[in-house]
Structure 1
Amino acid sequence: MTDGAGLVLRRSVGPATGLVLSRPDRGNALTPALLDDLLTAIGSADRNRPLVVSGAGKAFSSGGDILGFLAHAGDPEALAAHGRTLVDGLNDVILALQAFPAPVLAAVNGPLTGGSLGLALAADRIIMADTAFVQPWYAAMGFAPDGGWTALLPARIGSARTHAWIAGNDRLDAATCLAMGVCDRVCSASDFASAMETEARTLASADTATLQASRRLLRPAEADLRAELEAERTAFLDCLLRPETIARMRAFAASGRTAKEAG
């Protein structure tokens, strides 16, 4: 069953509430409106049922919408305001997912780039389709990393490997992500829907108090994570306003790769 209209759809995934990013024509690229809808959906979800976050169409999410940044590129104040709103919205969603009392599953059904990785890193478990990949794009675009690339990812793979990944802008397939510890399970794209439901049932059967204690003991405290995410936002805005970054975004959009990167 699927409910809702707009940028985030709600559906049942076995015993879980599924939240589906729904901008498939743009690779589910993040905008302030989409993040607002996602935050609202998280806040109104049944807090006794697991959450499953996935994307509509071929992609999970292609990160911040480049065309959204370019729409404000002629006015530094407007560009800064748009960037601040976008990253603040992403940070709020990450914090809300980490604080959600029931288990959270990130179901990476397709390509995942840029700050959208934070939607997965905030989950208790991450599964990827074997056709999915993860790619930073920061060094190619001139952005500073956001979405928990520095605040959350090093806990999974280490600081040196995180930096090397960002520097090389490597596109890592699902099998490589599993081997590195970026995700917890890879399954075939044809079986992905059933795998999501199986994972949701496993999480629904887990003792919630145990998972909450594990989060509390292993993850940074909310205040510490918030401070690290805010540091990411500051660095992102500093880089966003540079002429070099704007030129890289314009070249990227002109190349036609914006749409292609989602599939």
Structure 2
Amino acid sequence: MTALVACDKVDLQNGEPCYRIALSAPRANALEPGLLTELHEALDALEQSGIQKALIIGGRNFSTGGDVGRFFEAAQARRAENYADVVVPVLQDLIMRMIEMPVVFASAARGAATGGAAGILFASDLAAAASDAFVQPYYGVMGFAPDGGWTALLPELIGAGPAQSWLMANHRLGALELQRLGLVQAVDAAPETRALELLSSIETASALAAKSMIWNGARLAQVRTGLDAETAAFRKLIGRQETLSRMTEFLHSNG
């Protein structure tokens, strides 16, 4: 792996090992092909290690999701669908792996977790957030279809109605609201430390038994179908002129 993702092992307070995955990519950990590839490699290494608890952390911003600039460049070159094909399915598979793996995942979030990057939080079993952390979809702003489990996974966690209204209104939900929804278990000035404490406090076998029964075959199949539908919808919308115009406006206003 390169500097995009760093992995190491830390000991929890109860003496158990924890596999730590740190995102450290440019442009606020934007979900571009290199970072996504390295995240899959990190999960490969985690599986090989046999460690059953893992922590995912970012930097000042957890991740701002897909790189709008790179989607814009691909769209200008009439290769938007091609670029989507090396980003979206890879993200979807990452989300699915996190749900399926016999590992208790915790995430620690600061700043933005936007677009598809929010799926990493949705797929985590536990999460801690700094007071400045927020989640916002942004899909309607760009003209993108949702990915990362916003329609495939989030309705399972908070209900279909709240998930739809969040997407439609493009609400920015802060740490306390995320905690109220049950997407975050703790709000703390040091979310990385708090997430490790959460991992240490639970009994591993019990937690993994609960995870395997909640995410049973029927639910996993439903989520997989939903993720595949997100991928198809994203690919359908990404090449439109309307989407290109919205990306142009967004990049101009944020440039």
TM-score by length of 2: 0.90
- Structure 2: distance between partners of 1:88 and 1:185: 30
Query: Cα deviations across residues 52-92 of structure 1 (Å, max 9, x unaligned)?
Result: 11112x1000010111101211233x210111220111011
Cross-structure match for 1:238:
236
Cross-structure match for 1:261:
none
Q: 1:11 aligned to 2:8?
A: yes
CA contact (8 A) 1:21 1:55 kept: yes
Using the TM superposition, give the Cα deviation of residue 217 of structure 1 relative to its aligned residue in structure 2, in angstroms: 2.4
Residues 127-136 or 95-104, more deviating: 95-104
Alignment of 1:146-185 (within 5 A): 146-185=147-186
Q: 1:142 aligned to 2:139?
A: no
Using the TM superposition, give the Cα deviation of residue 212 of structure 1 relative to its aligned residue in structure 2, in angstroms: 3.0
CA contact (8 A) 2:142 2:243 kept: yes
Cross-structure match for 1:260:
none
CA contact (8 A) 1:101 1:212 kept: yes
- Structure 2: distance between partners of 1:32 and 1:81: 12
Q: In 2 relative to 1, CA 238–127 (structure 1 residues): closer, same or farther, beyond 3 Å? A: same
Cross-structure match for 2:193:
194
- Structure 2: distance between partners of 1:207 and 1:220: 18
Using the TM superposition, give the Cα deviation of residue 117 of structure 1 relative to its aligned residue in structure 2, in angstroms: 1.1
Cross-structure match for 1:113:
114
Query: Cα deviations across residues 19-73 of structure 1 (Å, max 9, x unaligned)?
Result: 11112x41111001110100011111223241111112x1000010111101211
CA contact (8 A) 2:18 2:51 kept: no
- Structure 1: distance between partners of 2:204 and 2:57: 24
Using the TM superposition, give the Cα deviation of residue 216 of structure 1 relative to its aligned residue in structure 2, in angstroms: 2.8
Question: 1:67 is matched with which residue: 66, 69, 86?
Answer: 69
TM-score by length of 1: 0.88
Query: Cα deviations across residues 76-135 of structure 1 (Å, max 9, x unaligned)?
Result: 3x2101112201110111122122222111111221100111111111112111110111
- Structure 1: distance between partners of 2:75 and 2:40: 26
Query: Cα deviations across residues 185-244 of structure 1 (Å, max 9, x unaligned)?
Result: 2112xx3332132123224xx132x33332232236333322110001111111111111
CA contact (8 A) 2:109 2:133 kept: yes
- Structure 1: distance between partners of 2:195 and 2:98: 18
Q: 1:87 aligned to 2:88?
A: yes
- Given residue 94 of structure 1, which amino acid in structure 2 is its aligned partner? I
Query: Cα deviations across residues 141-163 of structure 1 (Å, max 9, x unaligned)?
Result: 11111100011111221111111
CA contact (8 A) 1:103 1:124 kept: yes
- Structure 1: distance between partners of 2:112 and 2:9: 23
- Secondary structure of 1:72 counterpart: helix
- Secondary structure of 1:145 counterpart: coil
CA contact (8 A) 2:102 2:212 kept: no
Q: 1:213 aligned to 2:209?
A: yes
- Given residue 30 of structure 1, which amino acid in structure 2 is its aligned partner? L
- Structure 2: distance between partners of 1:162 and 1:99: 22
- Structure 2: distance between partners of 1:220 and 1:34: 29
Unaligned runs of 5+ in 2: 12-16
CA contact (8 A) 2:53 2:103 kept: yes
- Provide the identity percentage: 33
- Structure 1: distance between partners of 2:140 and 2:238: 12
